[in-house]
Amino acid sequence: MLRTVADTNVYISALNFGGAADEVLALGRRNAVAIYISPPILKEIEGVLVRKFNWSAASAREACTAIRAFTRSVRPQEKLDVIKEDEPDNRILECAVEANARVIVSGIGISES
């Protein structure tokens, strides 16, 4: 099964707007691909939903619970500092390394590793 990591903006877009981002996550819900996530990514999703999209804390937590139901959680052991322009993106890379992912899906496109 293809191991993937979705960038935070994929979850945010899917939850707020649907469309292609939700189609990517639907692949994970159907077990067509294995989508990996980490606690720091979930924390960022929850924070963005509350701060930027005015979700209630309870609704944001519920969304993260739903995400946990179809993703596979890893706890990255290696701390990376590769992306200087957007430091939180390093959490995505850390998750991908820990999961031995082949693909990272972002709002910009798909990158193969």
Q: Phi and psi (nearest 5°) for 6? A: -100, 135
Q: What does DSSP say about strands 3-6 and 103-105: parallel, antiparallel, or unpaired? A: parallel
For the beta carbon of residue 79, count every other beta carbon within 10 angstroms: 8
Contact (CB, 8 A) for 103 and 6: no
The CATH number covering residue 71 comes to 3.40.50.1010
Q: What pLDDT does 108 receive? A: 54
Q: What pLDDT does 25 receive? A: 96
- Angstrom distances, CA of residue 109 to CA of 75, 81, 93: 25, 22, 15
Number of domains in the chain: 1
Q: What is the mean pLDDT of each run of 10 residues along the chain (113 residues)?
A: 96 94 96 98 97 97 98 95 89 97 79 48
For the beta carbon of residue 3, count every other beta carbon within 10 angstroms: 16
For the beta carbon of residue 103, count every other beta carbon within 10 angstroms: 16
Q: What pLDDT does 107 receive? A: 75
Give the pair of three-digit tokens for residue 50.
């509350």
Give the structural domain span for 16. Answer: 3-112
| pTM summary value | 0.91
